[in-house]
Amino acid sequence: MGTKERRERERAEVREKILEAARELFVSEGYEAVTMRKIADRIEYSPTAIYLHFKDKESVLRELCDADFIALAKKFARIGRIADPILRLKKAAHAYTDFGLENPNHYRLMFMTPHPPIDKEESAVEKGNPEEDAYAFLKATVEEALAAGRLRPGLDDADLLAQTLWAGLHGVVALQIAKANDPWCDWRSTTARSGLMTDVLVRGIVRGEE
């Protein structure tokens, strides 16, 4: 009796179509453009049908967001094989800014928009697992660099270091997304900015002689 399975599959397909439509709207037109009614139009359902699959609009966006967190972590995982932790940090920095600059709308939702604290572990990302959690990857690499004595004396807190490195890269991406069109200052190229940031951060934390 495969009817139950078929029902579930069909349900999952509609769910997937909703996510797909939301993602397209989101990528091409930005956060504000994602409207329950527009999503519904795209998949030729009524707006309220979405509520049979998602609690509210926020849930739809958060699900997209979660998928992106995992995509980012996967991107990092591909770097994980590099032996030298400092070089690995540099490569990860490059991957991070690339990710943000290539997916500005996603990045904005992921890192630039305050969300209500994510209550339970209903999030799809498995915290602490470097394969799915990009922060865990970064912290693990910092710990390796620390253990190998590659960093300046006085630096010993892997979390603090990871958060600072992250913040530096985030600053480059976030300013680009929020202020790139602002003629306030003569913006240098994103590659120049992210390159110098990586350089400055690494030089700022490694032992002198490198």
Q: Which residues bind DNA (CB under 7 A)?
A: 1, 3-4, 7, 10-11, 14, 34-38, 44-49, 51-53, 56-58
Instruction: Locate 88 and state its tokens.
Output: 């690995």
DSSP string, 90-149: HHHHHHHHHHHHH-HHHHIIIIIS------STTSSS-TT-TTT-HHHHHHHHHHHHHHTT
Partner whose binding site includes residue 78, from its own copies, DNA, none (CB under 5 to 8 Å by kind): none
At a CB cut-off of 8 Å and minimum separation 6, what does 96 contact?
Answer: 72, 76, 134, 169, 173
Amino acid at 22: A
Amino acid at 160: L
Nearer to its own copies, 2 or 117 (CB): 117
> Among 111, 82, 128, 80, which residue's Cα sits nearest to residue 175?
111
Told to check if 192 binds its own copies by CB under 8 A, we report: yes
Least distance to its own copies from the beta carbon of 201, Å? Answer: 6
Interface of this chain with its own copies, residues 111 to 150, rule: CB under 8 A: 111-115, 117-118, 127, 133, 135, 139
Least distance to its own copies from the beta carbon of 135, Å? Answer: 5
Tell me which of 44, 122, 182, 210 binds its own copies, using CB under 8 A: 182
Told to check if 188 binds its own copies by CB under 8 A, we report: yes
Q: What is the phi-psi region of residue 101: left when phi exceeds 0, alpha when psi lies from -120 to 50, beta otherwise?
A: alpha
Partner whose binding site includes residue 49, from DNA, its own copies, none (CB under 5 to 8 Å by kind): DNA
Told to check if 171 binds its own copies by CB under 8 A, we report: yes
Tell me which of 34, 65, 101, 197 binds its own copies, using CB under 8 A: 197
Q: Coil, strand or helix: which one is 206?
A: strand
Nearer to DNA, 48 or 129 (CB): 48
**Residue 193 · residue 176 · CB < 8 Å:** yes
CA distances from 19 to 7, 54, 108, 134 (A): 19, 10, 18, 23
Least distance to DNA from the beta carbon of 104, Å? Answer: 20
Q: Which residues bind its own copies (CB under 8 A)?
A: 108, 111-115, 117-118, 127, 133, 135, 139, 152, 157, 159-164, 166-172, 174-175, 177-179, 181-188, 192-193, 196-197, 199-205, 208
